[in-house]
Structure 1
Amino acid sequence: MNTALQPILELTIIIPGMFLAYLPVKSYIHAGSHKSFSDAGTDHADPSFLSLLLWLVPLLAIASILGGVICYHRNLSTTWILFPLLPCLFLLYHKTLQISIWKSVSVFLAVCAVFACVNSLSRAISALLMMPEEPALGSLLRLLWQHPDTDGIPLWFCTNAGFFYNLICWGFVLVAWYPASHAVRAMVEDDNFAQTWYVFWMIPLLFTGLNLFMVPRYKSTLYTGRILQGYIVISLVLLVILALFYTMFLLMAISLNRNARLQQENHFLSLQKQRYDTLLAAIEEARHARHDLRHHFVQLSSLAEQGDLEKIRQYLENATNKIPDLDMHFCENRAADSVIGYYCALAKRENIPFHAQTDLPAKITADEIDMCLVLSNLLENALEASLKTSAAKRSINISAYLHSPHLLLIQVTNPFDGEIHEKNHVFQSSKRHGNGVGIQSVRRIAEKNGGASTFTYESSVFSAKIMLRI
């Protein structure tokens, strides 16, 4: 017997679907991007995600109930509601995120593909539960074949199959919760994996299309021969293949991320090696300068006896220029000191004043790779902006220190000329079309462990303030 609950149950799966789609991209929700230093706490729960659920879940529930009631009274398949509803849900999904269209499409379609496979399996379960007794099967098939649009034909899953459909979908959410919130989230946030999203969406789209292609036009088709058994097997095989593909894709992403991490470590090690060689050269120059100091005194004494003050001034000026610049040590932490020293050398090569006030101990409990990525991204942006600024206004200022045993504060300021483009609170790249990668990377590193970041630009001065929890 058909009830209004049947189409409603078919549509309520949009609730676990949207919930699962948001798990890997919680850090991209609009409200979460405005977290201030005072808002950052030890609790890793994202308040923006919780506030989103408070209005999204009731909205989805209302949409499911209204859609189910319309299907029931109009005797329509839920497909007529679901197909126009999905684009609206995607638009809502994308607009609530600070994320590229490729990533949002890929994640959304990935969830749709899984739920499409579960839909096919639930359709088979529904057909099994509503299978007629064998003596009446022939007459029923003839009825369905001759009158495929008769009101007596069930348009929706039976009630038990509807509950099974929702149970499996929520079960998949629970199973995927941890990998979606950690491994998949890291994959989404990994800038080294950005190009892959341009093609990933094709696979879930293909699986969704295969499941739609499998939907029989008439219910009687499933009761013909062994079609129902084959339908169940194919539905399970598609679901397993899709799960294996997602697993392989995730493992590939983890491997690529590990390789990128190693490359970053090698890069920072090379910076430390350059820094070490520079310090050794400076120390050697200082040793030679001290050795030559006695000869300078003899020469100055001779010039003083002659009373030639102009030659004394010229001699002192030449000797001062030959004294090596030993202002090359910025802090006790070797990793941070290497990065700051590297960009200080680049700045001095371009005659850009570089001022650093850093007080970082040799041992910091923070992830040094993340700390160095923040420093290098900020200093690289500051250097590039300074190169585009008039020579008289150029300067780079950085301060980094421990505010408390568990808080590391970093601030970088630099003047800039021109305009800074910001779209939906995301800075646009000045080197290419699209979102800027450096600041987004800094923001994600800061916020992933409960830290915070603020970026301001006024009076032709750009300022970045970062708080890292350690």
Structure 2
Amino acid sequence: MIPLYRIIEICVYSLLNFLPFMALALYPFRSRLRFSVKITVCIIVVISFIQMGLGLWAAFFSGGKAALASVVSTAVYVVFYFIAVKVNFGKALFTLLMISNTANFVVAVSKCIEGKIFPELAVQSYRWSFSLIMLVVLAVVWIPLFIYTKKVYTPAVEKEPTGIEWRYLWLIPATFYLIWYYMLYNNNGKSSLETALDAGNAVFLLFINVGAGIVYYVIAMLINEQEKNIRLSDNNHRLAMQNLQYENLQEKIADARRAKHDVRHHISLMQEYVRNKQYGELEKYLNSYQQSLPDDTLISFCENKTVNAVMLYFAQVAKNEDIDYDVKAVIPENISVDETDLSVLFGNLIENATDACREESGDNRRIVIRAMTDEYTLCLGIDNTFTGTLKKDLSGVLFSSKHKGFGVGVESVKSIAEKYGGTYCAEVKDEMFMSSVLLNLRT
């Protein structure tokens, strides 16, 4: 019969090796969980029991196949993680590998220290001494790692603009992961236990993980800095649009003042026509006067000031470029979408449509914008004249028409759609490029 204390030892180790790192891995995406917090916690509890069961099986029933338990444990962990979080695959993989590397380091260092303090217990599996030292090492490693995750890493994964970089950044922690397994399983015929007990290997892993930590920190800081620069550029763009709106308003006010100033002269002349019964001349004069009045076209496309400023800016651009600009938008002043996201979303898509029309020849150049909201969604459709061919990579990412490389503007739109649990799609039909975005306003 298996002693109760051994069952407790194995269960404690299994939980220490799972829960702290799962918490770290989920923290950056706590607002993007696929399930509710309650359901997620329940699933984690179930997986915790699975981890404890695998530990017991590896210790007492595996018959020399304990490595299989490790493989199954890792598979369960990975499958759950990718199902639980709704984020870019590369971003989730980067996070998972980064935390896994740290977990492996904690286990290896704990075993090495156990070998120095409790040499007799260290050669046994899952003893209380291992869990005790692992708890101390966790306290030293986990707290600064959590601070980094909260202060630096989480803002990077929440606010990065395009998502393109995460398709390749995961290769960095993957490289460190391969280094770890190379040391573990290709060490001159030594067992993994002998490798872990070797102080030289522990020191080497320490330097590797410190270096990895510095790399992760620099990556997160660069992404945060990139985000700040993009936001600054966007704010400058918004100021330019608002300035144009102000100039248009001032121009209309000046036109109205001039019309008011001239009205006395017009009245005098019309009275003269009436006295002389020159009604035909009066009618011609009235028609001419009406055509000379200032443009009374509405200067507001919708109630939302941010979206309206963007649309007004590009309305002026389209007018200067002789592009037909057709807008029907119903967007309230208050909407549960960040103003910056609205500006980036509408600004990028309308700018792309304007740039595409510039490349077209002929007189039939037009931009058609339709936008509306209800209680749950924001729907946006922007169509523009397009007679070219869409260029995409193998994964469907559009190439930029402005430079060699990916279209960052479209990737920003996709990132915003993903942020609000929505979708973005684009197609060409009847010589029109059609962009559509749907945002969920109840995320």
CA spacing shift, 1:191–1:312, aligned 2, 3 Å:
same
Cα distance in structure 1, aligned partners of 2:150 and 2:233: 25
TM-score by length of 2: 0.69
CA shift digits 1:285-344 (9 cap, x unpaired): 333333443444455456653222763563254234xx1336336899986763453356
Taking the aligned partners of 1:221 and 1:358, their CA distance within structure 2 comes to: 64
Once residues 294 and 116 of structure 1 are traced to their aligned partners in structure 2, the CA distance between those partners, rounded to angstroms, is 88
Against the structure 1 CA distance between its residues 343 and 166, is the aligned structure 2 distance closer, same or farther, given a 3 Å change threshold?
farther
1:200 aligns with 2:169: yes
1:279 to 229, 249, 254: 249
1:232 matched to 2:202: yes
CA deviation digits over 1:106-129, x for unaligned, max 9?
111111111111122122123224
Task: Name the amino acid aligned to 2:298.
Answer: D
Most deviating of 325-334 and 240-249: 325-334
311, 315, 324: which is aligned to 1:350? 324
Q: How does 1:351-430 map to 2 (within 5 A)?
A: 351-354=325-328, 370-377=338-345, 396=370
Q: Displacement of 1:83 after TM fit?
A: 2.4
Secondary structure (helix, strand or coil) at the match of 1:195 reads: coil
Q: Is the 8 A contact 1:30 1:98 kept in 2?
A: yes
How much is the aligned-residue C-alpha RMSD, in angstroms? 4.9
Cα distance, 1:103–1:463 mapped onto 2, change above 3 Å:
closer
Deviation at 1:20, TM superposition (A): 1.4
Q: How far did 1:16 drift?
A: 2.2
What is the one-letter code of the residue matched to 1:87? A
CA deviation after TM superposition for structure 1 residue 98, in Å: 1.9
CA distance change for structure 1 residues 411 and 313 in 2, over 3 Å: closer, same or farther? farther
Equivalence map 1:42-441=2 (5 Å): 48-76=36-64, 78-131=66-119, 154=123, 156-166=125-135, 168-169=137-138, 172-192=141-161, 194-215=163-184, 217-218=189-190, 222=194, 228-298=198-268, 300-301=270-271, 305-308=277-280, 311-312=284-285, 314-320=287-293, 323-325=294-296, 327-328=298-299, 338-339=309-310, 341-342=312-313, 345=316, 350-354=324-328, 370-377=338-345, 396=370, 437-438=412-413, 441=416
TM-score when normalising by structure 1: 0.65
Conserved in 2, the CA contact under 8 Å of 1:357 and 1:398? yes
The higher relative CO (CA closer than 8 Å, separation ≥ 6) is in 1
What residue is the counterpart of 2:387 in the other structure?
Answer: none
Q: Contact between 2:377 and 2:438, CA under 8 Å: does it hold in 1?
A: yes
> Which residue in the other structure is 2:389 paired with?
none
* SS at 1:194 equivalent: coil
Give 1:429 deviation, angstroms. 9.3
| Aligned residue pair count | 394
1:38 maps to what in 2?
Answer: none
Change in Cα spacing, 1:243 to 1:334, as seen in structure 2 (3 Å) is: same
How has the CA–CA distance of structure 1 residues 324 and 109 changed in structure 2, closer, same or farther, with 3 Å as cutoff?
Answer: same
Unaligned runs of 5+ in 1: 32-47, 133-151, 361-365, 401-408, 418-427, 447-452, 456-460
Cα 1:6–1:200 change in 2 (3 A) is: farther
| Residues in 1 aligned to 2:239 and 2:164: alpha-carbon distance in whole angstroms | 27
The sequence identity of aligned pairs, in percent, is 17
Aligned equivalents of 1:62, 1:177: Cα separation in 2: 25
When residues 60 and 105 of structure 1 are mapped into structure 2, their CA distance, relative to the original with a 3 A threshold, is: same
Q: Supply the distance in 2 between the matched residues of 1:330 and 1:130 (Cα, whole angstroms).
A: 75
Structure 2 residue runs without a partner (length 5+):
358-364, 384-394, 400-405, 424-435
